[in-house]
Chain A
């Protein structure tokens, strides 16, 4: 149970970090995040499950595919909207539009069936009296490595610094000689790739179908609302909370009741702390 919680939490951290990245850099809430997760799952399903290409190569392909989608969204859609928008809802509406687009493209191309892939590694580890399948362990380690890698990238590279600066103040970053448009496009691509990677990892555990997009978008929203939107430690904290609550809840209750309780708890939580656990007060 707790082991499952860890596996979920680490993967959710990938999703939450991706959406936080996009949100903090561009102030856009990526409604299509769950759909990007789903597409990541399908890329792995086709490359690894059908064409039998090495799992890790498939994951790299996920990064390329989703990175391109994210880059295109920013370059062709959101950039223009930022220049012509008269109401702040415009970019949100556009994000909803992209979510609809991806979801229905996936539905037309991939069909409605639930798809699974063969296990990447076999075997079971025993920790105390809990059993941990090796597949889940692999997913956990990969996700953890990715989370740490991302944090290092954002913290220590020149490119990461540009993104953090962009999140703080767009105009000043521009004045400092950063190519804002390019960094934003890469940031969007990176965020999308993280969502896709989470999808590519979790497809080995849960499988994927073209309807899961909204479910994971909502999970991502819950995580950033718990932790505080636009704050990296908040995203990780939110992922840990949701991962464990979900793992424990599924053990004790039917799935849909677990989520109902999570929603009720979330709304009560927002009464007391609308900015999330680690977010700065606003508004």
Chain B
């Protein structure tokens, strides 16, 4: 145990040194990469694949799943393994569904409101639950996913039980100066795709900004040692609830998007398997990288949509992949890039 901690400390110290030494260089490189990513998402893909509703739907799923997983990434950054993201996606989805079917509120208002509902619930539940650490937190959040599903199942008239809420209205059209630019009808998934990309790009920008800010450093200090963080005057309880609420907010938004996209929501829409998947995306991409969740989610979503033949065994392969990755690539796919970088540096020096 003592050895492990020493190892971790050395590891993060090394990370810190790398970060300080190459901040400028890396920052410009990252901006460039991010711009290229946004360009591909908004221009190249719609032009290339715009005529194939199927691929656009797959990519839409990938984008929003990445967005939801980025929330989990934030809770990883405070050192908690969050298995409740499915629960908060469900809460967000139900919030959007109830608000739009019952009260006729526009989707554009429902989207942020359901995020806020999720965040508020996350803060209330998170306050006691975040006192738990490590496996205790993982166990509790896993139970929470199941608890919220049961809540939706027994919600009576509000959640309509097992039949779920169907016929959720589509988002209204977006228009500027009376000219409709995006019309959300059933025929073309492209508007949904643009919405999903906007969410993802905003999500990445937000998380990027967050992790570069003081708040990001506070979160990382919580991961390394909460007692030490307390001793330098950080209000640990406040910040960890904040991180969890941000995570739940992203889960809620994603859930609301899918509710409107599929026009239905059931208690079984998000189960434990989904909570595990959100975590798996983060981890597969790499927990040390902001792009980690997006890389993991797109890779898995796209590859399994393309490989129809193995779809029956999808989760089996997820399981194998997770084990293999843990054994041979414990820092995620993006760590391959860093290994390459290090080798090059060694050659130069």
**Interface residues of A, Cβ cutoff 8 Å to B:** 23, 27, 29, 77, 80-81, 84-90, 92-94, 96-105, 107-108, 170, 214, 217-218, 221-222, 224-225, 229, 254, 256-257, 259-260, 263-264, 266-268, 270-271, 274, 283
Contact = CB atoms under 8 A, between A and B. Distances in A.
B322 interface: yes
Contacts of B331: 86
A86 B81 CA distance: 15
Contacts of A229: 135-136
B116 interface: no
Given A214-B272, A274-B136, A221 B322 contact: no
B84 to A, nearest CB: 11
A28 to B, nearest CB: 8
Contact of B139 (A29, A214, A257): A29
A239 to B, nearest CB: 16
Given A86-B7, A101-B320, A263-B146, A225 B330 contact: no
A84 B330 contact: yes
B150 A259 contact: yes
Nearest to B12: A86
Contacts of A97: 319-320, 322-323, 326
A88 B140 CA distance: 17
B316 A96 contact: no
8 contacts: A87-B287, A101-B320, A214-B146, A221-B142, A225-B140, A263-B143, A263-B150, A271-B128
B81 A89 contact: yes
Most buried by B among A23, A80, A87: A87
A266 to B, nearest CB: 7
B319 A98 contact: yes
Contacts, number: 139
B134 interface: yes
Contact of A263 (B147, B283, B316): B147
Interface string B125-140: 1001101111110111
B135 A29 contact: yes
Contacts of A86: 7-8, 11, 330-331
Contact of B143 (A92, A266, A274): A266
A77 B154 contact: no
Contacts of A98: 319, 323
B326 A81 contact: yes
Interface string B241-279: 000000000000000000000000000000011001001
A114 B233 CA distance: 56
Contact of B129 (A29, A84, A254, A267): A267
Given A221-B139, A221-B143, A222-B143, A81 B327 contact: yes
A231 B249 CA distance: 36
Nearest to A97: B322
Nearest to B327: A80
The list of the 7 closest CB pairs from A to B, nearest first, reads A100-B319, A97-B322, A101-B319, A263-B147, A104-B316, A221-B139, A29-B135
Given A87-B287, A96-B279, A97-B322, A263 B144 contact: yes
Contacts of B315: 100, 103-104, 107
Contacts of A217: 142
Contacts of B144: 263, 267
B130 to A, nearest CB: 10
Contacts of B272: 214
